[in-house]
Structure 1
Amino acid sequence: MRTGIATVCLSGTLKEKMQACAIAGFDGIEIFEQDLVTSSLSPEDVRKMAADLGLTLDLYQPFRDFDSVTEDLLAANLRRAEAKFRLMSRLGMDTILVCTNVATATIDDDDLRAQQLAALADLAGEHGVKVAYEALAWGKYVNDYEHAHRLVAKVDHPNLGTCLDSFHILSRDWDTAPIEDINADKIFFVQVADAPKLSMDVLSWSRHYRVFPGEGQFELAKFMGHVVRAGYTGPVSLEVFNDVFRQSDVERTAVDAMRSLIWLEEQSAKWLDTNAPAAGNAAGAGGTQAAARRRYPMELATLPQVAEPAGFNFAEVKAADTGVLEKVLGQLGFEFNGRHRTKDVQLWTMGHARVIINEQAPEAAEPAIAALGFDVDSPVIASARAQQLKAPVVPRKSQANEEVFQGFSAPDSTEIFLCQGNPDGTAAWTREFGEGLEVPSGARTAVIDHVNLAQPWQHFDEAVLFYTSALALEPQPYAEVASPSGLVRSQVMQTSDRDVRLVLNLAPVIQQDGADPGTAPRKTYQEHIAFAVDDLVATARAARDRGLAFLQIPENYYEDLDARFDLDPGFLGTLRDLNLLYDRDADGEFLHFYTATVGSVFFEMVERRGNYDGYGAPNAPVRHAVQYDHLHDLTKTNH
């Protein structure tokens, strides 16, 4: 599959955009007119630079408001078009995108539109240009791709074809199956974009909320499956209007974009495999699905296939001063299992929950989640898949007789390590901290239940796609939680059996005053690791006896809890006494408590009763409010 991207997707100058696209590995680009108009590069410079970077210039766009106009306006539009055709010759480009008219259309007449498009096609033919006619979802008279293609077929000119744009088709819920009936020679270009399902006008939705494939909710694999079956062989190009992407680092966004097309290519191949045509059109007796797919002109590459992770292997917290972390883990009931024989790291365990404390942090670095380990069937294959999806490799030095971890970086810089899981939940690498540690104490009385990672605002969608494509986690419907500093968008990523639950939070920045007058406010993103135990009340009592500083829950919460659930007075008293939070649904109950925050990290202990599958969502605003008050109290104390 030939990959492309419109320069409008990215931040920066045209030069910076082209360089980023080449670095990310795109085959070609669409030149968005404004990027050229505002560039100091001449068309000849752009042409040479593209050649030097190994990029093809696939599409010049957009040419707006051409058809359905009066005769005098048509003449002006043709003059404008001829100027663009001459410009394209200087650029070395041969395809232009012409959108259906929005602003100047005044005559709703298909015969007239066909005549005007024929005049444009004749002019384009004189300049060796192909016109890709695209139905905008908000076009005044033409907003349906089938309508646009009927006009193309009516004109029947070799220089006029159709542009299929997934957003304009899927945002209007048009059926994509008729794409297969379009003559492949008349599909001049294909653009793809994903988007969340929103209730708003289509124009605003399109201009601000498009995302890369895999980051929204459109059925793009199905759309592409029909495109492939139609016989299309040209570029599959991203056209994404997104306010966040156009403010983010250009190279990083380009890599995210390329990852999305690699993912889409794989998903499209899977869709074709599972939606094969009726018998007689398949590969034949003894044939494979892949062989049946190869009957189409466009070849879709696939990635190494991996199963979803079997569970968390470990969580790693890094800090310059680890004393408070050690104290809190000990108070929670974790056991210190020694230091690594060659690295400045410690191992703490409770049952099968393993926490590594990494002391190799820069001076004055506060505690923060640094890495997560996942149990997978084949770490090497899973790592190869992640690397093909543009995940940066994390180098890790290992000496003889030490476990070799496959590692790569997530978008938020959390390091992800792939570990060879054992059926009994043990980990061979723990022997590097001392003999006899493969069988943890406490059997399965504790495991890592979930990890909550805060995501920078400009990379939230990137993180969702990354964990979906590289780790086979499934995104769940996102939720929004109120906090004193703003709404927190929460996105759960999990395996089908819930043994891995990763919660991504697009959290508002919590501001703290600078330590010294005139310094910038310090920004703190809070994250946490949650551990599941069999008896939370006993765990909490033991932790209190060891001196643990619990997050202090206000009395108002317990009065509301009593009103909502009519709990046994003795049980309610236990919750209040131990600062425990509680939730209940039709499937079971949920008890949990939080520690105070250390640096940007805090810990949560949970107990799931019955088949409760949530995270205590009604309690989240309480936690946010108490942490906010605590943080601001600390700020006042420090000043």
Structure 2
Amino acid sequence: MRTSIATVCLSGTLDEKLQAAAQAGFDGVEIFEQDLTVSPDSPEVIAARAADLGLSLDLFQPFRDFEGVDEAQFEANLRRAEAKFRLMGRLGMDTILLCSNVGTATIDDDEVVVEQLRRLGDLAERYDIDVAYEALAWGRYVSEYDRAWDLVRAADHPRIGTCLDSFHILSRGTDLSRIAEIPGEKIFFLQLADAPALSMDVLSWSRHHRVFPGEGSWDLTDFLARVTATGYAGPVSLEVFNDSFRQADTQRTAVDGLRSLRWLEANVAAAHVDSDQVRLDLQTLPQVAEPRGVDYIELDTDDLGALTRQIHQLGFRFVGFHRTKPHVQLWRRGQARIVVTESADIDPVSVDPDSAVPADATAAPAPASAVAPAPVSSGTHLRGIGFAVADADSAMERATLLQATEVPRDQAHDEEVLRGVFAPDGSEVFFGSGTGVDPTWTDEFGTVPDDRRSAIDHVNLAQPAHHYDEAVLFYTSLLALHAQVSNDVPSPSGLIRSQVMASSDGAIRMPLNLAPRSAESPETGSYPEHVAIACDDIFTAAATAVSRGLDFLPVPENYYEDLEARFDLAPELLQRLRENNILYDRDDVGEFLHFYTSTIGSVFFEMVERRGDYQGYGAPNAPVRLAAQHRRNAGH
């Protein structure tokens, strides 16, 4: 499948955009007219540059406000079109995008439009140009793809075809069945964009909120499958207008874009599009199942005593040091495992005595990278997540083909081979396929039996503003996770945008959060990350934490008074919640009880108990937690 990307998707100069597209691996680009207009290079120089980079120039766009006008205006429009055809000749381009008229159309008459398209086709024939007519979703008279096709079919000119754009079609909810009526050779170009589900005018939606396939809410696998079944054999191109993309790193955005197309291509190939009409060479990817669970969380710290003390207070048991890397420890609570890596090497005997490390703890090696951590913030932070997958080799191969960057890792010859990649936020994602109660890499730390029913319930990750959508696609395409409906959570510093990535069975739950920017943290705002640990009995966990001196995040009395008003709780239960700073939520299928720790560096913990079939995260309680953390940060 030939891939292309519109230069409007990327930040930077036209030369920078061409270079980024080529380095990412695209086959071609669409030239957005404004990028050409502001470039100091001549069309000939641009054409030569693209050729040197191995890029085809697939589409010149956009040509606007052409049809549905009176004769005088139409003659002027033909002169304008001829100028663009001559320019395209200098660029060596042969296809132009004609958008349905938005601004100047005054005649809503199919016969007039058909005749004007024919006359444009006659002019285009003289310059060996193909015209791809596209229905803009906000076109004055032509706003649906099927009407645009009807007009193209009636024009019956070899130089006049149509362009199908997923945004303009899906944003209007148009019936897709008529795509099958269009011969593939009359689809002169195909543009793809995804979008979040928003309630707003379609023009603003289009201009500011498009995203790459897999980062929004539409079924582009079905859309592309329908187009491939027509026999379309041209480029599959991205046209994404997005404010964040146009401020983000050009190369990263290009890589993210190609990843989205390769993921989508593989989805369509896996759907067994077996029509004799299919002309696209659809490549597959190694198939991966959803992860079976979180294998471990790795935290990097320069405050080892405070972090390990808090982990111990939550009921974790110290397993041991990495047998060859004494700055790495393993802690466990049932099947919840936390790897702690100290930023600077330490003497193994200098562990804080309050951590209550067993005297007979056995040493062993770390599952995580032993080289410098990923480029995230200093202090205590979440360095990485290990996922338990069915086939680690296939997962890594898929990640590599989707252009994820492998994490360099030192390991001895007798250590478990663990491979992983960098996530968009700079953290590390590792793939482990050990079987049994304990994965084999834990042998490198020693053995501390723990049959408690406890595991990592969810991991809440803060995302850089420019890479939030990229993270959604990353976890969707690499790990087969599913994006749930996004929510906005109010905090004292503004709204927190949150979107959960989850597996179908709930074994993996990862809320991705985009916090308001602040002067201290312009990328991720002041939103910390946290690890939630599931337990059977929240009150027993709280009692253990109290006995070990845990610094709970305090919950105001006003919360419990509101809780009493909202739920008919027994007075005894309400009092126990109040005494232990435990928050509560309930829905039709279950209950959710949880408490929070204070924050160390950029990380805090949450202990949770799920009762019944409750699947949420206590969202009504999030503002309480955010306000309490804000007061702590402000020193109140």
TM-score (norm 1): 0.92
1:213 Cα deviation (Å)?
Answer: 0.7
2:593 match = 591
Q: Deviations over 1:326-362 (max 9, x none)?
A: 1111111111222101222111111111101111368
- Structure 1 residues 294 and 495: alpha-carbon distance in aligned structure 2, compared to 1, 3 A threshold: farther
Q: Does the Cα contact within 8 Å between 1:549 and 1:595 map onto a contact in 2?
A: yes
Q: Deviations over 1:247-293 (max 9, x none)?
A: 111111111111111111122224455xxxxxxxxxxxxxxxxxx35
1:281 match = none
Q: Does the Cα contact within 8 Å between 1:135 and 1:168 map onto a contact in 2?
A: yes
**% same residue:** 58
Alignment equivalent of 2:290, drawn from 284, 308, 318 = 308
2:502 match = 494
Q: Is 1:399 aligned with 2:412? A: yes
Instruction: Name which of structure 1's ranges 56-65 and 412-421 shifts more when overlaid on structure 2.
Output: 412-421
Q: Deviations over 1:342-399 (max 9, x none)?
A: 2221111111111011113689931000000011111010111111111111111110
1:565 Cα deviation (Å)?
Answer: 1.3
1:512 Cα deviation (Å)?
Answer: 5.1
Superposition map of 1:349-388 within 5 A = 349-360=332-343, 365-388=378-401
1:222 Cα deviation (Å)?
Answer: 1.5
Alignment equivalent of 1:339, drawn from 321, 331, 344 = 321
Q: Does the Cα contact within 8 Å between 1:14 and 1:35 map onto a contact in 2?
A: yes
Q: Secondary structure at the match of 1:382?
A: helix
- Structure 1 residues 510 and 551: alpha-carbon distance in aligned structure 2, compared to 1, 3 A threshold: farther
Q: Is 1:430 aligned with 2:442? A: yes
1:321 Cα deviation (Å)?
Answer: 2.8
| CA distance in 2 between partners of 1:266 and 1:616 (Å) | 36
| CA distance in 2 between partners of 1:522 and 1:305 (Å) | 33
Q: Is 1:473 aligned with 2:481? A: yes
1:453 match = 461
| CA distance in 1 between partners of 2:424 and 2:523 (Å) | 24
| CA distance in 2 between partners of 1:471 and 1:4 (Å) | 25
| CA distance in 1 between partners of 2:330 and 2:608 (Å) | 21
| CA distance in 2 between partners of 1:382 and 1:521 (Å) | 29
Give the letter for the 1:622 counterpart.
Answer: V
Q: Secondary structure at the match of 2:36?
A: helix
Q: Deviations over 1:447-501 (max 9, x none)?
A: 1110000011111111111101100111111111111111111111111111111
Q: Does the Cα contact within 8 Å between 2:586 and 2:614 map onto a contact in 1?
A: yes
For structure 2, list consecutive stretches of 5 or more residues without a partner in the other structure: 345-371
Q: Does the Cα contact within 8 Å between 1:451 and 1:528 map onto a contact in 2?
A: yes
| CA distance in 2 between partners of 1:633 and 1:117 (Å) | 69
Q: Is 1:413 aligned with 2:426? A: yes
- Structure 1 residues 522 and 112: alpha-carbon distance in aligned structure 2, compared to 1, 3 A threshold: closer
| CA distance in 1 between partners of 2:545 and 2:519 (Å) | 31
> How many residue pairs are counted as aligned between the two chains?
605
For structure 1, list consecutive stretches of 5 or more residues without a partner in the other structure: 274-291, 514-519, 635-639
1:86 match = 86
Q: Does the Cα contact within 8 Å between 2:516 and 2:525 map onto a contact in 1?
A: no
Give the letter for the 1:427 counterpart.
Answer: P
Q: Does the Cα contact within 8 Å between 2:386 and 2:431 map onto a contact in 1?
A: yes
Q: Is 1:240 aligned with 2:225? A: no
1:528 Cα deviation (Å)?
Answer: 0.2
| CA distance in 2 between partners of 1:530 and 1:414 (Å) | 18
| CA distance in 2 between partners of 1:143 and 1:206 (Å) | 14
- Structure 1 residues 411 and 82: alpha-carbon distance in aligned structure 2, compared to 1, 3 A threshold: same
Q: Does the Cα contact within 8 Å between 2:420 and 2:429 map onto a contact in 1?
A: yes
1:523 Cα deviation (Å)?
Answer: 5.5
1:516 match = none
2:514 match = 506
Give the letter for the 1:88 counterpart.
Answer: M
Q: Secondary structure at the match of 1:460?
A: helix
2:553 match = 551
| CA distance in 2 between partners of 1:188 and 1:381 (Å) | 37
Q: Deviations over 1:535-559 (max 9, x none)?
A: 1101111111111100011011111
Give the letter for the 1:25 counterpart.
Answer: G
Q: Does the Cα contact within 8 Å between 2:516 and 2:526 map onto a contact in 1?
A: no
Q: Is 1:111 aligned with 2:93? A: no
Alignment equivalent of 2:611, drawn from 602, 609, 612 = 609
1:444 Cα deviation (Å)?
Answer: 3.6
Give the letter for the 2:438 counterpart.
Answer: T
Q: Is 1:484 aligned with 2:492? A: yes
Give the letter for the 1:268 counterpart.
Answer: V
Instruction: Name which of structure 1's ranges 144-153 and 313-322 shifts more when overlaid on structure 2.
Output: 144-153
- Structure 1 residues 301 and 618: alpha-carbon distance in aligned structure 2, compared to 1, 3 A threshold: same
1:219 Cα deviation (Å)?
Answer: 2.1
Q: Secondary structure at the match of 2:633?
A: helix
Q: Does the Cα contact within 8 Å between 1:511 and 1:521 map onto a contact in 2?
A: no
Give the letter for the 1:354 counterpart.
Answer: R
Q: Deviations over 1:66-108 (max 9, x none)?
A: 1111111111111111111111111010111111111111111
Q: Deviations over 1:115-153 (max 9, x none)?
A: 211111111111111111111111111112121122212
TM-score (norm 2): 0.93
Q: Does the Cα contact within 8 Å between 2:231 and 2:277 map onto a contact in 1?
A: no
1:522 Cα deviation (Å)?
Answer: 11
- Structure 1 residues 175 and 577: alpha-carbon distance in aligned structure 2, compared to 1, 3 A threshold: same
Q: Does the Cα contact within 8 Å between 1:512 and 1:521 map onto a contact in 2?
A: no
| CA distance in 1 between partners of 2:199 and 2:612 (Å) | 36
Instruction: Name which of structure 1's ranges 354-363 and 53-62 shifts more when overlaid on structure 2.
Output: 354-363
Q: Does the Cα contact within 8 Å between 1:592 and 1:604 map onto a contact in 2?
A: yes
Superposition map of 1:112-127 within 5 A = 112-127=112-127
- Structure 1 residues 407 and 495: alpha-carbon distance in aligned structure 2, compared to 1, 3 A threshold: same
| CA distance in 1 between partners of 2:176 and 2:494 (Å) | 40
Instruction: Name which of structure 1's ranges 179-188 and 406-415 shifts more when overlaid on structure 2.
Output: 179-188
1:322 Cα deviation (Å)?
Answer: 1.5
- Structure 1 residues 68 and 19: alpha-carbon distance in aligned structure 2, compared to 1, 3 A threshold: same
2:299 match = 317
| CA distance in 2 between partners of 1:6 and 1:460 (Å) | 21
1:637 match = none
| CA distance in 2 between partners of 1:198 and 1:543 (Å) | 43
- Structure 1 residues 522 and 44: alpha-carbon distance in aligned structure 2, compared to 1, 3 A threshold: closer
| CA distance in 1 between partners of 2:276 and 2:603 (Å) | 50
- Structure 1 residues 27 and 557: alpha-carbon distance in aligned structure 2, compared to 1, 3 A threshold: same
2:13 match = 13
| CA distance in 1 between partners of 2:152 and 2:591 (Å) | 61
| CA distance in 2 between partners of 1:557 and 1:465 (Å) | 37
1:390 match = 403
1:285 match = none
| CA distance in 2 between partners of 1:461 and 1:52 (Å) | 31
| CA distance in 1 between partners of 2:209 and 2:390 (Å) | 37
